[in-house]
Structure 1
Amino acid sequence: MKTLPLTRNLYIISGCNGAGKTTASYTVLPEMLNCQEFVNADNIAAGISPFNPASVALRAGRIMLNRIDELMREGADFAFETTLSTKSYVSLIKKARSLGYKITLVYFWLNSPQEAIARVATRVTKGGHDIPEDVIKRRYYGGLNNLFKLYKPNCDLWMVVNNTTEQPELIARGEYDFSELIFNPDIWNIIKRQAV
């Protein structure tokens, strides 16, 4: 398949559960990146079944993938959210690149699975959706592992942001040609150790 010039944008908003992906997306995407399309399976599930979104999670995931395909066919700029805990988006990224999409990945990192569990618990007290602790832990490490092994090498631009503290901190960024800028080597080394 012939690859088109990169004239469209696909933003992947990623990180473990509770990392602040959705919250950041509502500001960063429309206001800073002028991206008006944000596809989020959690929001879709809540729209289908507000009182029991977990019961329609698979259906919401299918709707999300269909919407992504539709947006790619239209050539629209868009973003989607993921924990990166599965390999399923690698083929989607490759397809998007062949259609002329520049792939930008932002990974919101928290310093531990326990921090992620605590944030999800806080979200639940405010009416948000719950996720079992074992799933949060599995996704925490799986997402970091896949970030390094699968997703970074397939993105045109990637950034890792420490979202543990009140003020987010850019830890590292890189480009498709494997060039990296490390802004906080101590935290970056912790993240790399967690990804193993």
Structure 2
Amino acid sequence: MKKLYVIAGCNGAGKTTASYTILPEILDCKEFVNADEIARGISPFQPEKVGIEAGRMMLKRIKNLLEAGESFAFETTLSTRSYVTFIEKATKLSYQVTCLFFLLDSEELAISRVATRVKEGGHHIPEEVIRRRYKSGLKNFFNLFLPRVDNWLFVNNSGDSYEIIAEGSMNEITVNNVLQWKELKEKYYGN
């Protein structure tokens, strides 16, 4: 079966780091499309200057993989609606679509993680962009993406080890941290 993995979460949530282990070793997914990695390939010393070009290349690569019927994963903050179309197309093409969402407890933690990444040579993201993406990514997860994917896993990656908050499919939801899941749904679902 063709599979599409959507690796989602705010900036600094650990999406890329987790993907390099989860995708090839656990999910047997060898194709990972990531705009940040594409940007580093174009301009290793100033990837932030080629972000738009890298984003276009990423969208083209996703389109080509869907048309070729390849299993693959892509990374996103889910802060825009743009990937809804790809997920709907993948579903029509008989892909099994799974979303892995990595949560951080706060916008401040996301900002701190990005600052640490910059000190280690990673790319900078303005604080206001991190805050906007944090909120819109959660809203879009609950309102746009959750109803459209076959399976999903919602992981808190704030601490030294991760915690699976909830997981589900079209027919079933298992909630492991009832309080946090309830708070997030109340804050972001339907808003």
**In structure 1, what is the Cα distance between the partners aligned to 2:19 and 2:179?**
27
**In structure 2, what is the Cα distance between the partners aligned to 1:145 and 1:166?**
26
Aligned positions of 1:1-196 closer than 5 A:
7-177=1-171, 179-195=172-188, 196=191
Q: Normalising by structure 1, what TM-score?
A: 0.94
CA drift at 1:165:
0.8
The number of residue pairs the alignment matches comes to 189
Q: How large is the RMSD of aligned CA atoms in angstroms?
A: 0.9
Residue pair 1:141, 1:194 contacting (<8 A) in 2 also: no
Give structure 2 stretches of 5+ with no counterpart. Answer: none
CA drift at 1:74:
1.6
Give structure 1 stretches of 5+ with no counterpart. Answer: 1-6
Q: Normalising by structure 2, what TM-score?
A: 0.96
SS in 1 for 2:89: helix
CA drift at 1:193:
3.8
CA drift at 1:186:
1.4
CA drift at 1:189:
2.1
CA drift at 1:51:
1.6
**In structure 2, what is the Cα distance between the partners aligned to 1:51 and 1:35?**
28
**In structure 2, what is the Cα distance between the partners aligned to 1:191 and 1:184?**
11
CA drift at 1:36:
0.2
- 1:73-120 CA distances to partner (integer Å, 9 max, x unpaired)? 221110000000000000110001111100000000000000000000
- 1:110-157 CA distances to partner (integer Å, 9 max, x unpaired)? 000000000000001110111000000000000000000000000000
CA drift at 1:190:
2.8
**In structure 1, what is the Cα distance between the partners aligned to 2:55 and 2:170?**
28
Q: Structure 1 vs Structure 2: percent identity of aligned residues? A: 54
